[in-house]
Amino acid sequence: METVEQLVSFNHIHVQLNGGAPWGFTLKGGLEHGEPLIITKIEEGGKAAQCKKLKVGDELVNINGSALYGSRQEALILIKGSYRILKIVVRRYFYLSLPLSLSHS
């Protein structure tokens, strides 16, 4: 039986949404729930969908240049304070499956 090792890696994706709220995405989690801030829904036809960069499962790490410390309340205040432009950075994880070498000496 061959064993497969999974390596977890991530990319930071910079997104700028223009035009003002509603921005077209929903967040879940946060420090209050002991979870990272994750995008759980992208509204069809909304600004987040139109930019084609965000995906469900992305972790929100920065809003308008402010690093997030994981609080959903903090994120909502920063998002609501964005008048015409919302700049966010998300962390997207991906998994690399590598076959382990099967060496017998």
Domain presence at residue 102: no
Residue 80 three-state SS: helix
Instruction: Give the count of domains, the chain.
Output: 1
- What pLDDT is recorded for position 4? 61
Express each pLDDT in 31-61 by its tens digit. Answer: 989 999 999 999 999 999 999 999 999 999 9
- The verdict on residue 48 lying in a domain is yes
Say what the pTM is.
Answer: 0.83
User: Do 4 and 98 meet the contact criterion of CB atoms below 8 Å apart?
Assistant: yes
Domain assignment present for residue 32? The answer is yes
CA distance 43 to 47: 8
Cis peptide before 99 (omega within 30 of 0): no
